Amino acid sequence: MNWLKKHTIFSSLLVFILLLIGWITWDNKHIETTVYNIEDTKIPASLNGFTIAQVSDLHNKDWGDQLIDRLTEAKPDLIVVTGDLIDSRKTDLPTAITFINEASTIAPIYYVTGNHEARIAEYEELIESTSDSVILLDNQQTVLEAGNDDVRLIGLQDPSFPTADTETHLQHLTDDYDGYTLLLSHRPELFETYERYHIDLVLSGHAHGGQFRLPFIGGLVAPNQGFFPTYSAGLYAEGETTMIVSRGLGNSLFPFRVNNPPELVIINLFKEAFPNQE
C-alpha cells in the first residue's frame, strides 16, 4: 500500500513536471500580439487609425516567418524597434540584418538603441548594414505627416552609450512644439523623466516583462529595476504621459520565460473614441 501510494505521488509529480516543461516550451515559442488603442484629443484627426507595430528586445532571436507574418497581418503604417535588436552575449549580425531587411518591405522602420547595442564591437557595422532599411533615431526627431497635420516622433540613445545625455537631449527635442509627441526609448525606468518633459506616448522595452511573471504580482525581476519592477509590461499613465512597455521578443541572460510569452505590440492612434468603444 505504501509502495502504491509513493508510486502514485511520483507519477503525478512526473506528469506535472512534464506538463510544466511543455507549457513553458510552448509559451516561449509563440508570439503573443497585444493591441493598444490610444485615444488623445491632441492626435490629429487625419491620423485617426494610424497603426504602429513595436518590436523590442529581439536579442538576435530568429523567429523564422512567424514574426514577419504577424507584422504583415497587422498592416502597420510604421514599425518601431525599441532597442536590443542584437545580443552582446551571442551577437549575430546576419540574423538582425535579415529581419530588418524583411520587415522594411512591410512599413518604414524607426530604430533606437538599447544597452546591448552599446556593448558590441560590431555596432558601426550593424548600423551601416541596416542603413538602407531603417532610420536610426538616436537623439533625433522626425515628423509623421498626414495631410496638413503632423505628430512629432523622437528617439533617445540608450544611456549605456558614453555620448548619451537623456535630460539634455529630451529638453532639446521637445522645445518649441506643443503637438502630439511620441517617444521611442529603451528604458522604462526613466518614466518620471519622460513625464517631466510632457511626452504624450512613450514606447519602451528592456524589462523583458519581468522574465518570470507571477499571478496577481507581475514581473519578478528586470534590468535596472531589480526585483518586483514597477515598469515591467503593459500600459502606465501619469499626468499627460502614457507609456507602453513591451515584454519583448527574445531572451538574454535568462534563456527562457515563465508565464510571460514573447510579445509583438500593436498601437492604434485615435483622436476620437476608437470604433466599437463603449
pLDDT digits (tens, 9 = 90+) for 123-169: 999 999 999 999 999 999 999 887 778 899 999 999 999 988 999 99
Q: For the beta carbon of residue 72, count every other beta carbon within 10 angstroms.
A: 16
Q: Given the DSSP bridges, would you call strands 50-55 and 263-270 parallel, antiparallel or unpaired?
A: antiparallel
Same domain, residue pair 122 and 26: no
Q: What is the CATH number of the domain that holds 147?
A: 3.60.21.10
Query: Is residue 240 in a domain?
Result: yes
CA–CA separation, 37 vs 25, rounded Å? 30
- E strand spans, 56-124: 78-82, 109-112
User: Torsion-angle region of residue 80: left (phi > 0), alpha (psi -120 to 50) or beta?
Assistant: beta
User: Torsion-angle region of residue 17: left (phi > 0), alpha (psi -120 to 50) or beta?
Assistant: alpha
Query: Is residue 176 in a domain?
Result: yes
Question: What is the predicted pLDDT for the residue at 149?
Answer: 81
CB 51 within 8 A of CB 74: yes
Same domain, residue pair 237 and 266: yes
Same domain, residue pair 17 and 47: no
Question: What is the predicted pLDDT for the residue at 145?
Answer: 81
CB 107 within 8 A of CB 100: no
Query: Is residue 278 in a domain?
Result: no
Same domain, residue pair 158 and 194: yes
Q: Given the DSSP bridges, would you call strands 234-238 and 241-245 parallel, antiparallel or unpaired?
A: antiparallel
Question: What is the predicted pLDDT for the residue at 178?
Answer: 81
Same domain, residue pair 90 and 121: yes
Same domain, residue pair 181 and 213: yes
Question: What is the predicted pLDDT for the residue at 278?
Answer: 45
Query: Is residue 277 in a domain?
Result: no
The segments of the chain whose pLDDT lies below 50 read: 278
Same domain, residue pair 137 and 203: yes
- 274: DSSP letter: P
If one counts the domains in the chain, the total is: 2
